[in-house]
Structures are given as C-alpha cells and as structure tokens.
Amino acid sequence: MSVRRNTMLLSALLCASLVSVSAFVEELDDSFMDTKGDDEIWLIKFYAPWCTFCKQLDPVWHQIGSELKSLGSPVNVGKSDATANTGLAKEFRVRGYPAILMLKKDVKYDYSGPRTKDGIMDFANRIAGPQVRALTSLQLFQHAMSRHDVMFVYIGATSPLKGNYSTAAERLIVHTYFFSASRDVLPKAVSISSLPAVVVFKDGTYFTYSEERDGELKSWINRERFPNYNKIDSYTLYAMGESGKLVLLALVEEKRLCEKSLRYKRLVEKVAADYREIYSRNFYFGFMEGGSYIDGLLMSEVVVPSFIVVDLSSDSYFLPAGDIETERHLLDFLDKVLDGSVQSQGGNGVAQRVKRFVYDAKVMLTPLFSQAPLLGCFLVCLPLVLVMVTCYLCSKARSADTDEDGVALLAPSAQSSRKLTDKKSD
C-alpha cells in the first residue's frame, strides 16, 4: 500500500513540475502579431506534431523558458504549431521544423546553431542585449575575453568606421558578440598603432582590421568569426560555408582515438598556428569526430582517420592523392588545393543533386527495409503506383478528347456527303 502511495505521490509531483515548467512557454496562434507588445522580445519555436526532432527539442525548450524567467530575462518564450497556425508560420517564412527564431522590435533573427540548451540560450541572450556592448573597465574587458573564444571590439570615438561596425553588428549579431571600448581599458599587452580600429581577439592573440588588406568590414568579420583551429561539428561546418573559406578537417574516431588520429589532430593544429599568416585568409582548421556528416557529402563511407578539405559554399571537397604523414605533405596538399592542382569533387550541379537525392533516399530506406521490409516496400511502391495511375488517367482522358474531336470533324463531312448524294439523286 505504501509503495502505491509513494508511486502516486511521485507521479503527482512530476505532473506538477511539468505544469510549472510549461507555464513559462506560451502557445502562440495566428493572432500573435496583433496582440504582442511593440517592445516585447520573443524566442519562438515553430513545430509540427509529427516531427520527431520537434518532440526531442520540447523538454529542452521548456527548460529554456524556465531558466530565462528565473534569470529575469526580458525574453518571452513561445511555441507554435505551424501546421495549425499557418498564417503565423507564413508571416515568419517557416520552411522546416523545428524552426527557431527571435523577434525584437519587429526584426526577425533566425537561429541555425545546434539544438542544445546552451546554444539557444546564448543566442537568446545575444539578441536580447544591445547589439554593441560597451566595455567600460579593464575588469569587464578581461571578463569578456575569458567568456568568448572570438570577440570583436571597436576601439575609439565616433567615426565612419564605427557606423560601418554598427551596421555589421546589426546583420551578424546572430552569429557573434560585438563590443566597444576606449583605449584606456585595454590590457597592457594590447597595442593599437592608430585609432579608431576594429580588433578581433581569438586564438590567444588579436588582429586589427585593415580595409586595404581585408576588404569590406562585414565580410572580414564574417570570415574571422570562428577560431582558426577548433573542434567542428556539422552545424559549425555548415556555418563556415557562409564565410567563403575552405575547411581543412582531420577526421578522427568519436570516442577512443588511435595513435594516428592523435597525430593527425596535432599536425592540423600545428599548421594552423605556425602558418596562420599564409593560410588563414583561405582556410579554417579543425577536427571532426566521426564521419557521418562527411559521408553524406562524399556519398560514400569516409575513411577514419583521414584528411579532407571541404568547401561548403559549393558542397565540394578535396582529397589528398596519397598518404599525409608529415607537415610538408600537408602543406603541399594545401598549396595544391589553392593553385588548382588538386581537382575538386562533388559540387551542387544538377547531376550531383540527383545523385545526392538517391543516396539520401537509400540511407533513409535501408534501415527501414531491414527492420520492417513490408512497410518499406509499401512506402516505395505507393508513389510508383500513384504515378502510374495518374499517367493512365491522363492518357485515357487525352484519348477521350481525341475521340470527341474526331466525331466533331466527321459530322460535317458526313452531312456534306449526304447532301451531295441527295443532290445527285435529284
């Protein structure tokens, strides 16, 4: 009896906790845009009831709502069934599920990072705050440096460069933080030759923007918003494609690394650090655990450990012709990629897209056939049957139209023939 009472008590407590957590996430409908306040900031998830990824994200979403509320954040958290509230989904141009975005002063900011609590919370805090955050003391400056792997800082008074910096921050705040500071709050190790200046702090050092050398400020920020060497996941790799840079990856095992994998990682890290001035304008460097994402790009199972250079702007890649065992081998490979000696593979042409569609379908259906062959056959055959039936009905309708036209043409002919016959008989 006591066991049953305890079970019922635990169930009641669990239900109460779920209700309390759910209270921090508001369900939004098509009337949202008419009822929201002008100064309200919203973090919104669009979902579909049948979407597996949406269901997996749901408990994380409620945790985010609860934590933002407990921190006193001005961000309101909501979610909307895009299949039921089609007007709201159309307003925000929702194309896939789950879609995550923020709305601040009627400006929409799309989130494209990993579907994790930390990633989404960081995005929410970044958008909710000022686009350019002032660092008014050395302590604040050092605290910001300790929290961010990459940090952009405008240093100096009001100038046209500051206006360009603010414009870039407005566009790129979805990706990174932007700060401003005066010269007197900089650490002693930071030496700026002239002001105003835009400086990026990353990889344990800093680099100053030069319009003559680096081109447009926004493009330079977009290129420099990642560490030069880093652990790279699929979301980060996809985002790197927007920078226009190539990515040199050491593909290694997901868990216990073999000696060769460790050597490949160290080799990429050394080249990234020692040859930064030569290659940083064209390459990012890093390692990726496992090769499932790269398998989809190559449309075959990739060898691990190995090296690959990826160009996500065109879905193409470069593979070394032989084994890379030394630093010199790796440098030669990078040089050949840059001068065109190594032929790029893949791409996003029509033929390649068709091949990728077939490959993705095969990857998706193979486990289904192995676990439920009857269901797999049904899902494959049903579209074929529908296409065949549609073609048959179209051809039948066309032949019927032809018959009707034939009768219409023959009728006058027959009538005139009849008239001629009658006339002759007269």
Q: Which fold has domain 227-347?
A: Glutaredoxin (3.40.30)
CATH topology of domain 133-223: Glutaredoxin (3.40.30)
Cβ atoms of 35 and 27 within 8 Å: the answer is no
Please give the class, per CATH, of domain 17-114: alpha beta
Check 51, 381, 391, 394 and give the catalytic one.
51
Which pLDDT score is estimated for 15? Answer: 45
The parts of the chain modelled with pLDDT lower than 70 are 1-23, 359-380, 382, 384, 397-426
Determine the pLDDT at residue 211: 93
* H helix or E strand, kind and range, residue 71: none
Q: Quick one: pLDDT at residue 20?
A: 44
Whole-prediction pTM: 0.75
For residue 31, with 0-12 CB atoms within 10 Å meaning exposed, 13-18 middle and 19 or more buried, which class applies? exposed
What is residue 379's predicted lDDT score, i.e. its pLDDT?
A: 59
Active site residue 54: yes
Q: Would the CA dihedral through 186, 189, 194, 198 be positive or negative? A: negative
261-278 burial string, b = 16+ CB within 10 Å, else e? beebbebbbebbeebbee
Domain 17-114 and domain 227-347 have a common topology: yes
Q: Which of 15, 54, 258, 391 is catalytic?
A: 54
Structure-token match 């084994």, residue found: 323
d(CA 307, CA 249): 6
Q: Is 285 exposed, middle or buried (0-12, 13-18, 19+ CB in 10 A)?
A: buried
- Alpha-carbon distance of 42 to 58, in angstroms, equals 17
pLDDT at 126: 93
Q: Residue 420's pLDDT is what? A: 38
Give the pLDDT of residue 393.
Answer: 78
For the chain, the structural domain boundaries read: 17-114, 133-223, 227-347
